[in-house]
Amino acid sequence: MSYLHSIFVAPFADMADAPDFFLQVVWEGLVSGVLYALIALGFVLIYKSSRIFNFAQGIMVVFAALTLVGLHENGVPALLAVPLTLLVMFVLAVGIERAVLRPLVNQPDIILFMATIGITLFLIGLGETIFGGANKVMITEQLGIPTGSWVVEPFGGFVSVEQKDVTAVVGAVLLVIALLVFLNKSKMGRAIRALGDDHQAALSVGISLSTIWVLVWFISGIIALATGIVWGARAGVSFALEVIALKALPVLMLGGLESVTGAIVGGLAIGILEKVFEIYWGQPLLGGNTEAWFAYMLALLVLLVRPQGLFGEKIIERV
């Protein structure tokens, strides 16, 4: 009885007792959720337009962040290093299209998936060769991101909000809005969506696969850089960052592989839920560290009920 009480009653009582602390937990969760969502967004874009499950998205985040920091270490001013890094990501996109995607066109999905594992290994090697394997500190201040923190006092308690987290959330929201506008209103965005719907038909109306692929990988590169900056500001830049890309998998299962909305909602949901679960259930009942597996369990449950994910595209077919 007391066990049931500690599962079903006590956590909620705790939340109600200290709403300021609860808000703090939700906020922390939200910030990591934004990061998961950004990574998942990179996956979704590439998956939508080429049906490639891009295992390399995580390492692209690391690589972009490393390039940015590395350039700055070598004397490039921070605000110049950002466009230069974007240029590097563009060259990378062109290189991947030429060297990997084009020769493998029409191969089974699994081969392309293996190829992205290859890209991952290549980027790890390249990154270590150029920038070394040591951890680096993200150049947060040099980029003009405020590092102080605000204290808000709801319900008579206090919640501390780091300014760089606020910047991250605002930045991510702007990025997502820009991306949605691009996808829905521009000619290239329309072509990306068309390619996701029907490859053959897209080819038949003259949509150029290589142009779109370069574009999509480049956009993923931009997203990777944004993710890298934000995550690097919280946890430093190291190859361990790559592991957070795995968190994008449950996000994708929850949200659906093809849905931009799904990636965002799934990312935020997993970020918040895993934090709340950890604090109110994990630590008191399960000895903590539930964040390592909670997202995967949640994804598994979702898969049992809705295999296409919460926002997966309905297959429209007419015979």
Partner 1 sequence: MIPNPAPATQTVEPILSVNNIEVIYDHVILVLKGVSLTVPRGGITAILGANGAGKTTTLKAISNLLHAERGEVTKGSIVFDGEEVQALSSNLLVRRGCIQVMEGRHCFGHLSVEDNLMTGAFTRKDGAAAIKADLDLVYDYFPRLKVRRTSQAGYTSGGEQQMTAIGRALMSRPKMILLDEPSMGLAPQLVEEIFEIVKKLNDEQGVSFLLAEQNTNVALRYAKYGYILESGRVVLDGEAAALRENDDVKEFYLGVGGEGRKSFRDVKHYKRRKRWLS
SS3 of the chain: CHHHHHHHCHHHHHHHHCHHHHHHHHHHHHHHHHHHHHHHHHHHHHHHHHCCCCCCHHHHHHHHHHHHHHHHHCCCCHHHHHHHHHHHHHHHHHHHHHHHHCCCCCCCHHHHHHHHHHHHHHHHHHHHHHHCCCCECCCCCCCCCCCCEEEECHHHCCEEEEHHHHHHHHHHHHHHHHHHHHHHHCHHHHHHHHHHHCHHHHHHCCCCHHHHHHHHHHHHHHHHHHHHHHHHHHHCECHHHHHHHHHHHHHHHHHCCCCHHHHHHHHHHHHHHHHHHHHHHHHHHHCCCCHHHHHHHHHHHHHHHCCCCCCCCCCCCCC
Minimum distance, C-beta of residue 209 to partner 1, in the bound complex (Å): 8
Do residues 308 and 258 lie in contact, with contact meaning Cβ atoms separated by under 8 Å?
Answer: no
Minimum distance, C-beta of residue 185 to partner 1, in the bound complex (Å): 10
Nearer of residues 16 and 319 to partner 1, judged by Cβ: 319
Minimum distance, C-beta of residue 45 to partner 1, in the bound complex (Å): 15
Nearer of residues 208 and 289 to partner 1, judged by Cβ: 208
Nearer of residues 2 and 204 to partner 1, judged by Cβ: 204
Minimum distance, C-beta of residue 233 to partner 1, in the bound complex (Å): 36
The residues with which 160 forms a beta bridge, in sequence order, are: 151
Nearer of residues 190 and 306 to partner 1, judged by Cβ: 190
Nearer of residues 44 and 202 to partner 1, judged by Cβ: 202
Binding site for partner 1 (CB under 8 A): 105-106, 187, 190-191, 193-194, 196-208, 313, 316-319
Residue 121 tokens read as 């290994």
Nearer of residues 188 and 303 to partner 1, judged by Cβ: 188
Nearer of residues 109 and 128 to partner 1, judged by Cβ: 109
Nearer of residues 258 and 274 to partner 1, judged by Cβ: 258
Minimum distance, C-beta of residue 106 to partner 1, in the bound complex (Å): 6
Minimum distance, C-beta of residue 190 to partner 1, in the bound complex (Å): 6
Minimum distance, C-beta of residue 37 to partner 1, in the bound complex (Å): 21
How many other CB atoms are there within 10 angstroms of residue 288's CB atom?
Answer: 12
Minimum distance, C-beta of residue 200 to partner 1, in the bound complex (Å): 6
How many other CB atoms are there within 10 angstroms of residue 11's CB atom?
Answer: 17
The number of angstroms, rounded, from the C-alpha of 242 to the middle of its chain's C-alpha atoms is 11
